[in-house]
Amino acid sequence: MSGLPPYASPLQTFWYYAFRVICGLIFFFLIFPIIVIMPLSFNSIPFFTFTREMLTLDPAGYSLVNYQDFFTNPDWQRAVWNSFRIAPVATLLSTAFGTLAAIGLSQPHVPFRRAIMAILISPMIVPLIISAAGMYFFYSRIGLQGTYWGVVLAHAALGTPFVIITVTATLVGFDKSLVRAAANLGANPVTTFLRIQMPLIIPGVVSGALFAFITSFDEVVVVLFVGSSGQKTLPWQMFTGLREQISPTILSVATLMVILSIALLTTLEYLRRRSEKLRGLSPG
């Protein structure tokens, strides 16, 4: 694949370039929808297509009117506030419970390991609409439907599998003799956990937390059913906007959210490299 050999036949040369063109088109398909909304979000008129002014780079074709609407419209602001009120609490819950459980699951002798794992991972497997339906039925029975805590608990449950998976992955490379060495040198289990184990698995915990955060922050199906209008989050507001009449403000929100995902992706990549370095898996 790396480079074309000098003895390649014309057919091979043709296929070599054709394959790259095909891949280029697929990459274009993957990235184009995300890129295209960025310039469109600066459109000065409420259209979803490039105007003549925009194509000729005329400053008059561009404006910040959509962003202005996003930052001043009380509906959007309330949605942002709700999202930031729900996601961190849900993240905290799923990270705390999930990290403890992952440490427990990685012990050598766990009774019913497979069954427990299946239950703990299930929120990730079950389709969201089924989780949403079940939670709607059950939470209305116990009076949690339409409350802040109902949404937080639901989102925390959905986020835990990600924490378990990422933390378990970090624990796989964890050297057990370090814990024994610490115990041997007189540290009690809590000190050992806080001073030896925690610093080594912290990249896994943080990336699990990021996954849990984005799960809650991006989640719309469950909040649609479990929440009431008082818990209207950003994705919910976008969903309503898209379903009823699509307002150009959505494009500015989408652009800001893409920037948020880029920031998250960068953090995760940094954490992954750091974790590998800490565990001595790669020289870099």
Partner 1 sequence: MTDMTAGKSGEVLTTRDGTPLKAALAKALRREKMRAILLIAPLLVFVLLTFIAPIADMLFRSVENQIVEETLPSTVQALGTWNPDEQEIPDEPVFEALFQDMKVAVKEKTHTQVGSRLNYESPGISSLFRKTGRQIRRMDEGDYKAQFLDADKRWGEANVWKTIKQFSPTYTDGYFLSAVDRKRSDTGIEAKPEREQIYIFLFWRTLFMSMVITFTCILLGYPIAFLLANLPLRTSNILMILVLLPFWTSLLVRTSAWKVLLQQQGVINETLYQLGLVADDGRLELINNQTGTIIAMTHILLPFMILPLYSVMKTISPSYVRAAKSLGANDWTAFWRVYFPNTVAGIGAGSILVFILSIGYYITPELVGGTSGTFISNRIAYHISSSLNWGLAAALGTILLVVVLVFYWLYDKIVGIDNVKLG
Give, as ranges, the residues between 218 and 277 that touch partner 1 (CB under 8 A).
Answer: 218, 220-221, 225, 235, 238-239, 242-243, 246, 250-251, 254, 257-258, 261-262, 264-265, 268, 272
The site that binds partner 1 (CB under 8 A) totals a number of residues, namely: 96
Cβ proximity to partner 1, 50 vs 84, nearer residue: 50
CA angle 146, 149, 151 (to 5 degrees): 60
Residues 6 or more apart in contact with residue 187 via CB below 8 angstroms: 195, 196
CB of 123 vs partner 1, minimal distance in Å: 5
Which residues are bridge partners to 43 per DSSP? 62
CA distances from 64 to 3, 115, 156, 243, 251 (A): 46, 53, 36, 24, 11
Among positions 91-150, residues that touch partner 1 (CB under 8 A) are: 93, 97-98, 100-101, 103-105, 107-111, 116-123, 125-139, 141
Among positions 70-89, residues that touch partner 1 (CB under 8 A) are: none
Query: Quick check: 49 binds partner 1 (CB under 8 A)?
Result: yes
Residue 183 and residue 241 in contact, taking contact as beta carbons nearer than 8 Å? no
Query: Quick check: 186 binds partner 1 (CB under 8 A)?
Result: no
CB of 60 vs partner 1, minimal distance in Å: 20
CB of 59 vs partner 1, minimal distance in Å: 21
Residue 171 and residue 201 in contact, taking contact as beta carbons nearer than 8 Å? yes
Residue 162 and residue 122 in contact, taking contact as beta carbons nearer than 8 Å? no
CB of 42 vs partner 1, minimal distance in Å: 14
Question: What token pair was written down for 118?
Answer: 């299946």
Query: Quick check: 17 binds partner 1 (CB under 8 A)?
Result: no
CB of 199 vs partner 1, minimal distance in Å: 19
Among 23, 60, 64, 281, binds partner 1 (CB under 8 A): 23
SS (H, E, C) 131-168: HHHHHHHHHHHCCCCCCHHHHHHHHHHHHHHHHHHHHH
